[in-house]
Structure 1
Amino acid sequence: MEHDSSGATDGFSLFVFLQTLISFCTNMAADCEAWLNANPVEPGDLSDSFLSGDEDNGRPAVSSKNGSGEINGNWLLSSSNSIQEARLKAKAKRRLRKNSSRDSGRGDSLSDNGDVVRGSSAAPTSPKSKLLDRKSRLGKGRGLPKKGGAGGKGVWGRSGEVYQLEQVDVKDPNYDEAQENCVYETVVPPLQERDFEKTVAPIVQEYFEHGDTKEVAELLAELNLGPMCSEVPSLAVTLALEAKASQRELTSRLLADLCGPVLSRGDVENSFDKLLRELPDLVLDTPGAPHLVGRFIARAVSDQILSKGYIEGYKGKVDCEYSRAALDRAAVLLKMSMDGLRIDNQWGSGGGQRPVTQLIKEMNLLLKEYVLSGDRTEAERCLRDLEVPHFHHEFVYEAVLLVLESKGEKTSKMVLQLLKSLSTSSIITVDQMRRGYERIYMDIAEINIDVPRAYFILEQFVDMSLSMGVIDVKLRDLCPCRGRKRFVSEGDGGVVKLETY
């Protein structure tokens, strides 16, 4: 019974739905007939066919089989026909706008009457992502920049293009006749006194390293010294008082080379006058300043950058004892030069400016003097005054060679103590010490020709050097040794004997 009641209920619902649908359709037909009676439609107003633009969007096309002018059962009017055509034209234009301007002349285009015209052309030559691409957009050419790179805003022109001088337009409203005779040049302001020492002192100190007077002259010529020229010699001599003898020699050469191109004799005389006045202050830092300034004056007179009567002009006019001592020293040196003393090299030439043969000779004299006197302090001072730290391996070589050629143990012990002292004070570096021993190892075969016991003496000296810490174990192991076993003559029956010394 339950099943029959539910089936009756479903049938009743279906019946009500169908009644409602029939009523709706009847009412709609009545409304359409009333509207058509009120608005009659001529047969020529209906279009038989339409463009198939809606088919692209998935909508059904206009049915033209019955010729009744219906679209999906709906009647069309002339106004709706014009609206539909406008929509199709707008859609075609939108589709064309989507194409990039690079593709102009290719693809679809719109004719004058609104019809879509399809064309074909070559594929684009540049990707669409390059918005600021300066290559041709017509798909022609080799893809090079326009006008060879010379066109467009903010470009420099073709590579290698030389621009001509622009002719001045006399009729230009901004033309100024006074500009025709203008001369432009770089003007360097004169060097101020407060900046003099800060600017010139580094130039002189750098000169002590390279020794090139021409470079100093060029640098000073660029500074526009003006009235400060007379301060250059006094500053150079003041810096040289606290320097080495070789740097004092360089200072004397600098003054001689600068006199003429940069300085005048008057500038040099005024500079030495200032030095004589400042001697009481210079003595506080350099006690031997009066004698050193006197030697500079004598050297300047010898180089003819000071007049010979410069010292005579101070007679009876000097009250300062330091100035008087400097002038007396200069007068004595000039008087000795008349007897054959050379003042042009009174400071000596230091460092690498001396020839190698002279350095070797001085080192041999130093070693022989040390062996006779036994003064290690004096030997260290003399080696330091040579100012050749890069050549100390030659001193080590000559010292060990002196030991090999000596006949007693006294020389060996003294030389070993000297090398130990020089190594401890770092006057001779580890690298220079090692290089000196290695040179002996390389030449020991030739040395053995003149000194038959050279191998034996060298082994003993190397062992002693290791025990005192002058060399390390690696350097000791590199020492060459000569085989001490030898075969005697045939008469001895091939008996092996040990070589004794």
Structure 2
Amino acid sequence: FASRRNLHINVNISDNTFTGNVDNEINGNWILAPTGSIHEARLKAKVKRRLRKNSSRDSGRGDSLSDNGDVVRSVVPPTSPKGKLLNRRSRMGKGRGLPKKGGAGGKGVWGTPGQVYDEDKVDVKDPNYDADCIYETVVLPLDEETFEKTVTPIVQEYFEHGDANEVAELLAELNLGSMRGDVPMLAVSLALEAKASHRELTSRLLSELCECVLTAADVEASFHKLLKELPDLVLDTPGAPQMLGQFIARAVADNILPKSFIDGYKGRVDCEYSRAALDRAAVLLRMSRWTGLRIDSLWGSGGGQRPVNQLIKEVNLLLKEYLLSGDTVEAERCLRELEVPHFHHEFVYEAVIMVLESKGNRTLQMVLQLLKSFCASTVITVDQLRRGFERVYLDMADLSIDVPCAYSLLEQFVEQSFDAGVIDKKLRDLCPCRGRKRFISEGDGGRLKLESC
């Protein structure tokens, strides 16, 4: 310590003054102390320390002392290293609005009102990027070929589930463009080759779509095109003119076609098919006005929309006609036209009951042949067949009251059905036995009495 500092001080104790040269270090700076008091040197060092710890507002300024101890402030350029040294100035409210490192914070980090963009598709660093723009997905309108490939599966699926709201939602997602008026035309064209129940569903679909997806002008334009294309439709569907006339009458009754649609063609139709369709529609509308014919049930109710009692009557009628004719192909066609594949277990149930009530071998053999044919062609599924037999098993207690020998007849029919491959072993084993054993006498040793029926 003595080697670093040389002190040559002459102190006068009486007046607290000193003379001589003092080489000393004050606050890290080597200075040559002039003649004066140590107290003044300490005050200067204290002032320097206080200025260095000044507020952040003055941190960018350089401060110095004059010879007489006054503070002299000089502005330091922002780029000066001295201005950046030990700068702990807060940037709250004084930043440039840039995001922090890592992407958090910064001005506009939450976006601006009305701004919609996809971060995966929009480059916010692009100099041409405008925060006020709204980016949306543009769907191109369908052309004729794409329209047919897209809308045809939608209509065909509608024939299966019958939910018009789902069709409306799917069509609303498409940009139909100029092909919007062809939706009714495509639906009616597909319905002409389908069943009566599908035509009824098509009429309902047109009525539902006219409220949300289509306009009355679109429906009218579609029927104009259908009348022009009737010569081509007749090649695939001979009854197309009469069915199209019924579609026109139903559309007028549902108020999606104007009543003047038919009158506009009077005296201006050269095609015989178009004339037949318009005449059919005019006759149906007159009948509804004069005789009270219900146009809304023009196609009838098909499939599962019919009451259960009506379906049971039609199934019994089908079985009786088969027992008279013996035509298996015709019986299969009639069963398919009922359009109730979920109700085929009722057909199996009624067929087995008919065998038990007939008590004849001819009915047993014909019903067995019919069930074998239907199972081979998968008209009746294994599940529906099983449900039909199980229903008979559960009702045997009541059936045996009207038919005393029902148990023995059922066992015979079930055994022959198993031999013919109609049912499996598990279903055969479920067959119930006779409800009560009858003995010849009390001392016969348990010998069963023969059935006499």
TM-score (norm 2): 0.65
Between Structure 1 and Structure 2, the one with more helix by share is: 1
d(CA) in 1 for partners of 2:426, 2:144:
59
Aligned CA distance change for structure 1 residues 316 and 356 (closer, same or farther; 3 Å): same
Q: Work out whether residues 152 and 186 of structure 2, in 8 Å CA contact, stay in contact via their aligned partners in 1.
A: yes
Alignment CA distance shift 1:307-1:369 (3 Å): farther
Match of 1:318 among 253, 266, 269: 269
1:240 to 179, 191, 200: 191
1:420-474 CA deviation, whole Å, 9 max, x = no partner? 3322332123332233223222322232233222101112222333444433444
1:255 maps to 2:206: yes
- Aligned residue runs from structure 1 range 107-186, under 5 A: 153-154=101-102, 164-165=110-111
Are positions 1:427 and 2:385 aligned together?
A: no
Aligned partner of 2:260 in structure 1 is: 309
Q: Which residue of 2 aligns with 1:405?
A: 357
Q: Distance in 2 between matches of 1:235 and 1:349?
A: 22
Change in CA separation of 1:485 and 1:196 when aligned onto 2, cut-off 3 Å: closer
Match of 1:332 among 249, 263, 283: 283
1:217 aligns with 2:168: yes
* Separation of aligned partners in 2, 1:461 and 1:320: 60
Query: Does 2:321 correspond to 1:369?
Result: yes
Q: Secondary structure at the match of 2:212?
A: coil
One-letter code of the match for 2:381? T
Letter in 2 for 1:201: T
Q: For residues 183-234 of structure 1, what are the alpha-carbon distances to aligned partners after superposition, in whole Å with 9 as ceiling and x for unaligned?
A: 6555544333443222222222222222211122222223232332211100
Q: 1:183 to 1:484 in 2, by over 3 A?
A: closer
SS of 1:243's equivalent? coil
**CA 1:430–1:312: 2 relative to 1, 3 Å:** same
Identity score, percent:
70
Is residue 229 of structure 2 the alignment partner of residue 282 of structure 1? no
User: AA paired with 2:432?
Assistant: P
Going from structure 1 to structure 2, the CA distance change for 1:186 and 1:470 (only over 3 Å counts) comes to closer
Query: Shift in Å at residue 342 of structure 1?
Result: 2.7
| CA distance 1:466–1:183, change in 2 (3 Å) | closer
SS of corresponding position for 1:223: coil
Aligned length: 338
Aligned pair in 2 of structure 1 residues 212, 399: CA closer, same or farther (>3 Å)?
A: same
Pairwise mapping of residues 318-467 of structure 1 onto structure 2 (< 5 A)? 318-338=269-289, 339-467=291-419
Shift of 1:252: 0.9
The one of 131, 143, 147 equivalent to 1:196 is 147
1:476 to 2:431 alignment: no
Q: CA offsets, 1:277-305, max 9 Å, x none? A: 11111122222222221221122122121
Which region of structure 1 is more displaced relative to structure 2, 330-339 or 386-395?
330-339
1:269 to 2:224 alignment? no
Could you tell me which amino acid in structure 1 is paired with residue 169 of structure 2?
E
Query: Could you say if the C-alpha distance between residues 224 and 493 of structure 1 is closer, same or farther in structure 2, counting changes exceeding 3 Å?
Result: closer
Given the two structures, how large is their TM-score scaled by the length of structure 1?
Answer: 0.60
Answer yes or no: is the 8 Å Cα contact 1:485–1:496 preserved in 2: no
Does the 8 A contact of 2:112 with 2:132 survive in 1? no
Instruction: Give the whole-Å Cα distance in 1 for the aligned partners of 2:178 and 2:446.
Output: 93
Shift of 1:333: 2.8
Taking the aligned partners of 1:281 and 1:376, their CA distance within structure 2 comes to 35
Structure 2 match to 1:141: none
Could you say what the CA RMSD is over the residues aligned between the two structures, in angstroms?
Answer: 3.3
Out of 201, 207, 216, the residue aligned to residue 158 of structure 2 is 207
**Contact 1:246 1:347 (C-alpha < 8 Å) held by counterparts:** yes
User: Which deviates more, 280-289 or 343-352?
Assistant: 343-352
CA 1:155–1:361: 2 relative to 1, 3 Å:
farther
Measure the CA separation in 1 of the matches of 2:450 and 2:429: 22
Alignment of 1:74-113 (within 5 A): none
Flag the 1:164–1:402 CA change in 2: closer, same or farther, 3 A: same
Going from structure 1 to structure 2, the CA distance change for 1:154 and 1:433 (only over 3 Å counts) comes to: same
The question of whether the paired residues in 2 share the 8 Å contact of 1:380 and 1:422 is answered with: yes
**Contact 1:484 1:499 survives alignment (8 Å):** no
Write the distance in 2 (CA, Å) between the matches of 1:499 and 1:408.
18
Shift in Å, 1:312: 2.6
Deviation at 1:377, TM superposition (A): 3.0
Q: Decide whether the 8 Å contact of 2:112 with 2:131 is kept in 1.
A: no
Query: Which of 208-217 and 359-368 deviates more?
Result: 359-368
Cα displacement string for residues 280-336 of structure 1 (whole angstroms, at most 9, x for unaligned residues): 111222222222212211221221211223223222221112212222222333334
Change (3 A) 1:367 1:283: same
Distance 1:375 1:346 in 2: 31
Unaligned runs of 5+ residues in structure 2 are 1-98, 114-124
- Residue 236 of structure 1, CA deviation: 0.8
